[in-house]
Structure 1
Amino acid sequence: MNIHVVAVFKFNENYLMEAVEHFQTLVRETRKEEGCLQYDLIEDKNNKGTFFMVELWETEDHLNRHSGQDHLLNFRKDVSKMLESSIEVYKGFKTL
């Protein structure tokens, strides 16, 4: 069963250009992963510095493998000082 994920990132405005560079690497590498069906970065049009990562994975096992990938771990480490608040992650299954 496919699993959907939305992750919300809120960055300090001083770090936006640097954050986007880190996102570019993360998106490029994640899209190569087995089981990744969608991995899109969306910038909130009304809240500067707020981004949504919209993900779709073939299975929860694929998502779990993603969680241990070096490119994701490096991303988290590299952007931790740039965030205004903790990353919020929502996971679920399609109901309709």
Structure 2
Amino acid sequence: MKVKVVVFGILRFPAENIELVLPHLKSFVDATREKDNCIAYDVAEDPFDKGLIRFTELWPDRESLQSHLNADHVIPWRDSAKKYGLMERKFSSYDLSSDEIPV
């Protein structure tokens, strides 16, 4: 499947809440990978900034991304994020206009 849309994002939680957030994040990521037609959906806590979670998403088209944003499993995740003190959320998407170029 060809990548046409890439998303980069961050969420920031209080460092002391990160262990409480992770089980909810795992459920959300598992559902996204299983149901939302993503090519890749990668999430990791920044090892140098406790509480910062980075997202990298690859999508075949804008429609798939939009469907993901409206999916049923997004609402429980957003509720959990608020419950555990979401402090910052920044996501940007980009349309790719060329084929993959290995580096």
What TM-score comes out, normalization by structure 2 length? Answer: 0.83
Code of the aligned partner of 1:54: T
Aligned with residue 48 of structure 2, among 46, 49, 59 = 46
Report what 2:101 is aligned to.
Answer: none
Report what 1:85 is aligned to.
Answer: 87
Report what 1:20 is aligned to.
Answer: 22
Report what 2:67 is aligned to.
Answer: 65
Code of the aligned partner of 1:26: F
Give unpaired runs (5+ residues) of structure 1: none
8 Å CA contact retained: 2:8, 2:55 = yes
What TM-score comes out, normalization by structure 1 length? Answer: 0.88
8 Å CA contact retained: 1:8, 1:51 = yes
**Alpha-carbon distance between aligned partners in 2 of 1:84 and 1:33, rounded to the nearest angstrom:** 25
CA apart distance, 1:67 = 0.6
Aligned residues: 96
RMSD: 1.7
Moved segments of 4+, more than 4 Å: none
CA apart distance, 1:85 = 2.1
Structure with max Cα Rg: 2
Give unpaired runs (5+ residues) of structure 2: 99-103
